[in-house]
Amino acid sequence: MGVQERREREKLARKEAILNAAQGIFFDKGLDRATVDEIAEATELSKGTIYLYFKSKEELYISVLLKGLDILAEQFEDLKSHFGAQRADELIKEARETYYAFYRTYPEFLYIHSLLYHGRIKEKIDPDILADTHDKTKQCLLVLSDIIQKGINDGLFRDVDTWKTANSFWGAATGVMMMMDDEDHQAFITIPVKELMDDTIEMLLDSLMITHSSPVFQRTRDISQRSQRTQRNAL
């Protein structure tokens, strides 16, 4: 291994160590109460070294979000492997379950995401890092868009703008989770988050579906049922 390559690996390892330490501290204290001094102490680096990698605490905060978006984008990409075996409406529901499970496992990432476009944070973030967060979110949205296109091609969904519809699903799901993330709001609404999430997505799905009595829907259902029987017989 050459000197330059070793230095690059050490630099990447140091950056990852900073992000890991920052994640724990941010999750425990939040953005406002956490300090760069604490992160420096946790990584046994100087405060100046932290700023060599991240120009502000806010930029480090959003960089932690990117780690979460990497996980979510990978989970959404995994849905593509189910395209041949499941109907589009089933895939939409699976995407809903994936997103909800992510929210339950990593609620802090959702909170960080909600602050992403706040003026006092956005102006302190490197534009490239901000663009990376957009790209990861877009990756998830494109999977949703592909699922909707599959539904259209299969005669299950109405012919709609897939990108606009994908954003509607994403915005509705994100809005429910962010709204219900507050305990006082939950007490006021008195509806479990999962129940509201399920009902919201079901209503959007209903608006997409071709009427069950239509010949197109009946034909699609028959094809899907035959495909499922064939797969079961092959096992």
The residue extents of the domains of the chain are 1-53, 57-234
Q: The dihedral of CA 178, 182, 186, 192: what is its sign?
A: positive
Mean pLDDT estimate for the chain: 86
With 0-12 / 13-18 / 19 or more C-beta atoms within 10 angstroms meaning exposed / middle / buried, residue 23 is buried
- CA–CA distance, 217 with 210 (Å, rounded to integer): 6
What pLDDT is recorded for position 214?
46
Provide the pLDDT confidence category of residue 218 given band limits of 50, 70 and 90: low
Residue 117 has a pLDDT of 64
pLDDT band at 213 (very low <50, low <70, confident <90, very high): very low
1-53 and 57-234: identical CATH topology: no
Name which of 124-133, 165-174, 180-189, 220-229 the model is least confident about. Answer: 220-229
The answer to whether residues 144 and 170 touch, using CB atoms and an 8 Å cutoff, is yes
Looking at domain 57-234, which of 3.40.50.2000, 1.10.357.10, 1.50.10.150, 3.40.190.10 is its CATH number? 1.10.357.10
Poorest-confidence range of 8-17, 67-76, 86-95, 220-229? Answer: 220-229
CA torsion sign, 175 to 180 to 181 to 185? positive
Indicate if the pLDDT at residue 152 is higher than 60: yes
* Chain segment 97-123, per-residue pLDDT in tens: 999 999 888 888 877 777 776 666 777
**SS3 per residue for 180-222:** HCCHHHHHHHCCCHHHHHHHHHHHHHHHHECCCCCHHHHHHHH
The class that CATH gives domain 1-53 is mainly alpha
For tokens 């579906």, the residue is: 209
Q: What is the pTM of this model?
A: 0.78
DSSP 95-118: HHHHHHHHHHH-HHHHHHHHHTT-
CB atoms closer than 10 angstroms to residue 212 = 8
Provide the 3-class DSSP secondary structure of residue 157.
Answer: strand
> For residue 61, is pLDDT > 70?
yes
pLDDT at 142: 97
The reported pLDDT for the residue numbered 49 is 93
pLDDT band of residue 216 (cuts 50, 70, 90) is very low
